[in-house]
Structure 1
Amino acid sequence: MTLTHSQTPLLVFMLAATATALALSGWQPYDRLTWLMEVLPVLIAVPILWLTYKKFPLTTLIYWCIFLHGLILIMGGTYTYARVPLGFAVQEWFDLARNPYDKLGHFFQGFAPALIAREILIRHQIVKGAKMLAFIIVCIVLAISATYELIEWAAAVAMGQGADEFLGTQGDQWDTQSDMFMALIGSLCALAFFTRLHDAQLRKLA
């Protein structure tokens, strides 16, 4: 499989937009260490995508998912999740008890990995059968979500009170469980609403 010419301008745009967003967000973030921890997945993903796109190019849908997820992480790192202005607006609109922006992040933490896992499993022919494929994908998403929560726990232990901005629990004792639930919902939405589009793009890529 090779990178299609139609993807090249799109990927250049995404790379430039991501680099610009990183530069702007890193100029004066609310908390430097929190910013670094939140954008670290982006800093890891970009070089991996750059190094592998010739041998294993992804569908356009997957690149869009990764790009949008990256912007969500960058925004969260800039303000910390509990202080993102968009979250305060949503909080006011729906009369919520807390800033819900972190739930958007965890929704995409399920949405994007679900489609990424689906693409890898299908293209490498690892799983056969639509039902088993969906089951394995959801399991992978929940494993990723649980791993992230373990990382947050480790950060809390290592940093003490300094981890509050990174955790962003806002006093919610069920924050960990609701984060994983949002990732589950994200994975189910990805599979329910984007499977047909994903399959069409996979056929074109092949």
Structure 2
Amino acid sequence: MHQNYTTTLKALALLYSAVFIFSAIDPFSRAVWVAEVIPAIAILSGVFLISRHYRFSKTSYCLMFIWLCLHTIGAKYTFAEVPFDWFNNLFDSNRNHFDRVAHFSIGLFAYPIAEYLVNRNLAKPFIALPYALFAIMALAAGYEIVEWWYAAIAGGEEGIAFLGSQGDIWDAQKDMLMDTLGALTALFIFVTQRRVFSFSQAK
């Protein structure tokens, strides 16, 4: 079992390394790239640090790495410029919705949060689930504040590129909504799996 989780984590880390190298090559703005990559590296480091003492399920690792990959790709182009026309065309929209999808993927971290609390017997599911949801919502609000702060300091094209609002005055609120919807989706998956596995470690 331990070997299986180690193999999964190493495989995902290798995949992310390839995405990171791709992202680092000739980004749209090096300053924006550095600012965007810092939180991704911080979270990746946190995942590995926690994994030294606690093994998440394979589902958790996969869900966490979805955001890491999407965010790092967004860092290369800036989120407003990622080639994502096929998805935008589904909604007949001129706006690039890659950032919305990336924000949705942040919410997927609610799964490992709830899993950790339940498996470590730190909270019963009826406490762990809302805690995970509110943790993601708080993180989403905090990140929007950081975006505003950085954009205000950087100013100019760099600040606009980092903010990625694309002219939408409600961009921050919609981003937080996507974070929340992602968290609700992750917790639905968690509840569905754990009902099947009787709250044992998800496979």
Cα pair 1:61 1:198 within 8 Å, conserved:
no
Q: Secondary structure at the match of 2:52?
A: coil
1:59, CA displacement in angstroms?
1.2
- Report Cα offsets for 1:177-199 as digits up to 9, x if no partner: 10011111111111123323257
Distance, in Å, in 2 between the alignment partners of 1:119 and 1:194 is 8
- 1:159 partnered with 2:154: yes
Aligned to 1:19: 17
Cα pair 2:119 2:201 within 8 Å, conserved:
no
Aligned to 1:146: 141
Cα pair 1:82 1:101 within 8 Å, conserved:
yes
Distance, in Å, in 2 between the alignment partners of 1:129 and 1:92 is 39
With over 3 angstroms needed to count, the CA separation of the structure-2 counterparts of 1:129 and 1:7, relative to structure 1, is closer
Out of 71, 87, 98, the position equivalent to 1:101 is 98
Aligned to 2:186: 190
- 1:76 partnered with 2:71: no
TM-score of the pair, normalised by structure 2: 0.89
Structure 1: where are the runs of 5+ without partners? none
Distance, in Å, in 2 between the alignment partners of 1:25 and 1:177 is 27
With over 3 angstroms needed to count, the CA separation of the structure-2 counterparts of 1:169 and 1:60, relative to structure 1, is same
Root-mean-square deviation (CA, aligned residues, Å) is 2.0
Aligned to 1:181: 177
With over 3 angstroms needed to count, the CA separation of the structure-2 counterparts of 1:90 and 1:133, relative to structure 1, is same
Distance, in Å, in 2 between the alignment partners of 1:20 and 1:124 is 33
Structure 2: where are the runs of 5+ without partners? none
- Report Cα offsets for 1:58-84 as digits up to 9, x if no partner: 111111011111110111011111111
Identity %: 28
Distance, in Å, in 2 between the alignment partners of 1:203 and 1:33 is 44
1:171, CA displacement in angstroms?
0.2
1:33, CA displacement in angstroms?
1.4
1:61 aligned partner, one-letter code: T
